[in-house]
Amino acid sequence: MEVSHRLKAIPPYVFAEIDKKRQAAVARGVDVINLGIGDPDQPTPRHIVDAMHEALEKPINHHYPPFGGMKEYKEAAAEWCKKRFGITVDPVTEVTSLIGSKEGLHNTIMAFIDRGDVGLIPDPGYPVYQTSILLAGGTPYFMPLKPENNFLPDLDAIPEDICKKAKLILFNYPNNPTAGVADLPFFEKAVAFAKKHDILLCHDLSYSEMTFDGYKAPSILQVHGAKNVAIELHTLSKTYNMTGWRIGFAIGNAQAIKALASLKSNIDTDVFKAIQVAAIAAFTGPTDHIEFCNRLYIERRDIAIKALGELGWTIKPNKATFYMWLPTPKGVTSADFCTQMLDVAGIVVPPGTAYGPNGEGFFRMSLCTDKERLQEAFDRMKKHSITYDMGKARV
C-alpha cells in the first residue's frame, strides 16, 4: 500500500513525534516534565461547562448543525469582536465557524493556494502553515522572524518575483513560538502590502487575550480597509481553556469567508451544536478567569526568568502567550539540546527547527505547568549542568 505523494511531501507533525519520545521515556520509568505543548493546565470555566451540560439534554442540539455555524453563535462571536476590538462584522456574510483555528488555517490555505502558488509564512512559525501549503501543492516562502526585528517580518525584503506568485500571506501575533507582538502600525503596513500585491492576508489571532504588562493585542481588522484583503482566525482554545472542545471562528473579507465556508461544507459538518451553545456562554459570560490565568502565566514567566538567569540565560519578559523562545547554548544545535533535556533531565521542550529553518539555535518552553513542577525542571537543569554556558552538548 502506497500513500499519496502529497503525504510524502510533508514531515511528521512535530508534536506527535515529540509525544512519542515523551511516551517512550515514561515507559522507561522517567518522571517526565512536559514543557513542550501549549495546552492550558487550568479547567474550562464552570459556566461554560454548565452551559454544555444543559445543551446536551436538549434533543434539538443532537442533530446536524447549520453549515457555517448557528445563527446565535455567529452573532455572539460578532458581538464579542465589537466589544473587544471595536470592529463591526456582519454575522451572516463576514463570520463562519471553525473546528478550532488549526482546521481553519488548513482550509483557508486549501481554499486559496493552487499548485505553483506561493504562500508567505513566518519563520519560525506554527508548523501547519508550511505543511498545509505543501499539501495544497504550493510553495512556502519563509519570512524570517529575528530578535533584532522584534520577531516581525521585513516585508520590503520579499523579492518582487515572489510577490507576483504569492496568493496568501500569514501572520500570527501574539506569536507562536517566539511570543513576539505586533502593533497597529505594523498591521497597517501589512494591509498595504497585501493590497499592493493582491494577496489575501490571513491573521491567526489565537492568543489575543493572553497579554501582559499593559500590552493589549489588536485585531488586524482595526486597520482601515483591512476587510478588503484580510481575514482573521480566532479560537476559544487558549482564551477559555477549551483546547479539547475544538471551536473557533473566522471573520473578515466576505469573499474569503464565503470561500472558506464553501470548502468546509464539502468536508465537515461543522461544530456540534451543544459546543456552540457553550461557546456562546463563553462570549457572554464572566471573564474573571482570563485575568486569573494571565496572573498565573506572569508568575510562572517570572519564575522562569529568575531560574534561567541563574543558569546563564538573559531574557526579556514576554508580553504575551505562555511561551518562552530561548537561545540554545553556544555550539549546541536545537535538536541536540532538546534531546539532552529529555534524556538527561527528563524535560520535554521542542527544538526551534520544528518551526522552520530560522528556528535553529532556539528552543521553545511552554508555561502550562504549575510553578512547583516548573521549578523542579530548573532544579534538574542545574543538577545536570544544563546551562547557557555549558559548551558543546554531549548527547
Could you tell me the pLDDT band of residue 5, with boundaries at 50, 70 and 90? confident
- How many other CB atoms are there within 10 angstroms of residue 225's CB atom? 12
pLDDT beyond 70 at 73: yes
CATH classification of the domain holding 343: 3.90.1150.10
Structurally, the chain folds into a number of domains equal to: 2
Predicted pLDDT at 203 = 98
Could you tell me the pLDDT band of residue 393, with boundaries at 50, 70 and 90? very low
Q: How far is CA 265 from CA 2, 132, 260, 357, in A?
A: 29, 18, 9, 35
> What would the mean pLDDT of 385-390 be, rounded to a whole number?
94
Q: Based on the fold, state whether residues 28 and 53 are members of the same structural domain.
A: no
Q: Is 97 helix (H, G, I), strand (E, B) or coil?
A: strand
> What would the mean pLDDT of 265-275 be, rounded to a whole number?
97
Structural contact between residues 100 and 249, judged by C-beta atoms closer than 8 angstroms = no
Predicted pLDDT at 190 = 98
Q: Based on the fold, state whether residues 102 and 244 are members of the same structural domain.
A: yes
Predicted pLDDT at 391 = 66
> What would the mean pLDDT of 170-194 be, rounded to a whole number?
98
pLDDT beyond 70 at 394: no
306, 308, 314, 317 alpha-carbon torsion, rounded to 10°: -60
Q: Based on the fold, state whether residues 262 and 141 are members of the same structural domain.
A: yes
Beta strand spans in 236-358 (E) = 248-252, 323-327, 347-348
> What would the mean pLDDT of 72-95 be, rounded to a whole number?
98
- Mean pLDDT, the chain, rounded, equals 96
**Rounded Cα distance, 102 and 129, in Å:** 9
> What would the mean pLDDT of 51-79 be, rounded to a whole number?
98
Predicted pLDDT at 42 = 97
Each residue of 224-235: pLDDT tens digit? 999 999 999 999
Could you tell me the pLDDT band of residue 395, with boundaries at 50, 70 and 90? very low
Q: Is residue 176 part of a domain?
A: yes
Predicted pLDDT at 21 = 84
Predicted pLDDT at 218 = 98
Last-in-domain residue among 231, 253, 284: 284
**Rounded Cα distance, 184 and 155, in Å:** 15
Q: Is residue 56 part of a domain?
A: yes
CA-based end-to-end distance of the chain: 36
What is the residue range of 124's domain? 46-284
Last-in-domain residue among 228, 257, 284: 284
Cell, residue 112: 486559496
Q: Based on the fold, state whether residues 272 and 231 are members of the same structural domain.
A: yes
Last-in-domain residue among 284, 307, 331: 284
pLDDT beyond 80 at 52: yes
Q: Based on the fold, state whether residues 138 and 271 are members of the same structural domain.
A: yes
User: Phi and psi for 190 in degrees, rounded to 5?
Assistant: -65, -40
Structural contact between residues 180 and 145, judged by C-beta atoms closer than 8 angstroms = yes
Q: Based on the fold, state whether residues 324 and 252 are members of the same structural domain.
A: no
Could you tell me the pLDDT band of residue 18, with boundaries at 50, 70 and 90? confident
Predicted pLDDT at 37 = 87
Of all helices (H) and strands (E), which one includes residue 84? helix 71-85
Q: Is 336 helix (H, G, I), strand (E, B) or coil?
A: helix
CATH classification of the domain holding 127: 3.40.640.10
357, 358, 361, 362 alpha-carbon torsion, rounded to 10°: -110
**Rounded Cα distance, 335 and 349, in Å:** 10
- pTM: predicted TM-score of the whole model, two decimal places: 0.95
